[in-house]
Chains A and B, each alone.
Chain A
C-alpha cells in the first residue's frame, strides 16, 4: 500500500531518533527514556513518550 511521503519521512525521523522502544520489555527502567520533545503530562499521563512495549503474544 502506498503511504504518503510525509508519513514515511516522519517514521524515518521517529526511528532515527529512537524515541520508540523495543517490544517485550516490561522493565520500568525502559519506560522513561528521554524523548526529544516532551509534552506536558498529568498524573495519569506522565509524558509524551509511549513505549507500547508489551509482548504481543510472542512469549509463548
Chain B
C-alpha cells in the first residue's frame, strides 16, 4: 500500500521513485546497483509486452511479486489501442489477460497510452493522436471503463508526446480530464512528452502545465529522447520521445516545477530503453539520472496531501462496446498513408485527397514537420529493426 498517514485530518504521503523495468538484460544490469542500494521504491512493468507466449524466468517473476506484495508494482500497457474506432478481438484478449494478471499480481494501478495504434496488428503499429470530438470521447470513456472493470484498481492515461498541431497541444490536458473523470481515473504526466511539445510547438510551460488537470496527476514519467530533422531541408529540429538517452537537465527542471503542483502524485518513474544501455557509461548515466530524480523527490517528501485515491468508478453494466466505423476507416486510411508514403510530399498530397480532408481530424492545420515525424514514427514501428 502507498505509505500514508493521517495528519491533522489530511493524508500525507511520500512519493515513490521507480524505474520502468521489463525483462531486459541491459535495463536490469543498469538498475541492479540501484536495487542493491534499496533506492528503487517501485517498478513499472509493461505487462502486455508478453506477446510471444514464453514463460518468465522465476527470478523476474519473484521481482514482480516482491513489488506487488508491497503495493509498489505498476502496470503500464502499451498495446490496447484505446481509440481504435472498431472494437477488436485483440482488445478483448488484452482485457482478458489483464484480468488474469490482476489475479496474479496486485497492481497499484494500471495505465495505458493516449491515441490509437497504426499497423496491421498491435505489435506493428505506432501510437498516434486522434481528433478531440464527442465521438472519440465516448469511445475512450467506454474503453477506460472496461480496463477498470478488468483490473479493479485505479486506471490512468499518459499524455502523448506526438501532436499534429498547436491546437491539439493546447487541448490535450482538458480532453484527458474529460476522458478519465467518469471512472475517477488519473493522468500520467510524462514530462519528456511535455518537453517535446514545448519545443515542437514553441509552447510556454507555465501556460501548458496549467491546461492539465494537475489534481489528477498520480504518476510522472521522466526520460530522454532524441532530436531529428522535421523536414528533409533540416530547417527545424523535432524532439521525439525515443527513450534512448539520458534525462535532459530541462526535464529535471520541469520535474522540480511540476511536483508542487500535483497534490495527488504518488509515483515518479524513470524510463529508458535497454537498447540505449549497452555501455558502462550509459549505465552510469542511467544511475546518476535516477539518483538525481530521487534527490529531487526527497526534497518534496511529506509535503503532499492526497485528496483523491482514484478508486475506480466502474459502471454496473458495461453494455456493448462503443464503435465508430467512420473513425475506424479514417484510422486505416491514415495508417496506410503514413506507413507507405515514400516522402513528406507524398504523404501530404495523399492526405489532402483522402477522407480525412475537411473532417474532425483537421488535417488542414497539421504542421508539415509533424506530418513528416508521424510518417517516420509509423515506418519505425512497422519495421522496427530496419
With A10-B59, A27-B385, A50-B23 in contact, do A57 and B52 touch (Cβ < 8 Å)? no
Contact flags A43-60 to B (C-beta < 8 A → 1, else 0): 011111111111111111
CB distance from A33 to the nearest CB of B (A): 10
Q: 8 A-B contacts, Cβ less than 8 Å apart?
A: A3-B36, A25-B384, A26-B124, A27-B385, A49-B54, A50-B52, A56-B20, A60-B160
With A48-B55, A50-B57, A60-B242 in contact, do A11 and B35 touch (Cβ < 8 Å)? yes
B residues within 8 Å of A by Cβ?
20, 22-29, 32, 35-36, 38, 40-42, 46, 48-60, 62-63, 66-67, 70, 72, 76, 78-79, 113, 123-124, 126-127, 158, 160-162, 193, 196, 223, 240-244, 271-275, 278, 377, 380-381, 384-385
Q: Which of A12, A13, A54 contacts B79 (CB 8 A)?
A: A54
Residues of A within 8 A of B56 (CB): 50, 52
Q: Which of B46, B54, B59, B162 contacts A56 (CB 8 A)?
A: B46
Q: Which of A23, A45, A60 contacts B27 (CB 8 A)?
A: A23
* Most chain B CB within a 10 A radius of its CB, from A26, A45, A49, A59: A59
Docked Cα-Cα span, A42 to B52, in Å, equals: 13
Question: On chain A, which size bracket covers the interface?
Answer: 35 or more
CB distance from A26 to the nearest CB of B (A): 5
Q: Which of A12, A20, A47 contacts B23 (CB 8 A)?
A: A20
B67 touches A52 (CB 8 A): no
Docked Cα-Cα span, A8 to B32, in Å, equals: 8
Which 4 pairs show the lowest CB-CB distances between chains A and B?
A58-B243, A54-B49, A10-B59, A50-B54
Interface of A, secondary structure class, is: loop
With A20-B24, A52-B50 in contact, do A8 and B384 touch (Cβ < 8 Å)? no
Docked Cα-Cα span, A15 to B27, in Å, equals: 9
Docked Cα-Cα span, A53 to B56, in Å, equals: 12
Output the nearest chain B residue to A22 by Cβ-Cβ distance: B274
Residues of B within 8 A of A31 (CB): 52, 54
Residues of A within 8 A of B162 (CB): 60
Docked Cα-Cα span, A22 to B29, in Å, equals: 11
Docked Cα-Cα span, A19 to B48, in Å, equals: 20
B32 touches A26 (CB 8 A): no
CB distance from A9 to the nearest CB of B (A): 9
Find residues 1-36 in chain A having any chain B CB closer than 8 Å to their own CB. 1-4, 7-8, 10-15, 18-27, 31
A60 touches B28 (CB 8 A): no
Docked Cα-Cα span, A24 to B23, in Å, equals: 11
Q: Which of A10, A21, A26 contacts B62 (CB 8 A)?
A: A10
Q: Which of B22, B58, B63, B70 contacts A52 (CB 8 A)?
A: B22
A8 touches B60 (CB 8 A): no
B28 touches A47 (CB 8 A): no
With A25-B385, A31-B52, A58-B223 in contact, do A14 and B72 touch (Cβ < 8 Å)? no
Name 16 extra pairs, CB < 8 A, besides A2-B38, A13-B59, A15-B25. Answer: A4-B66, A8-B36, A11-B63, A20-B57, A21-B25, A22-B274, A23-B274, A52-B24, A55-B381, A55-B384, A56-B78, A58-B271, A58-B273, A59-B126, A59-B384, A60-B241
With A4-B66, A31-B52, A51-B52 in contact, do A57 and B60 touch (Cβ < 8 Å)? no
CB distance from B144 to the nearest CB of A (A): 17
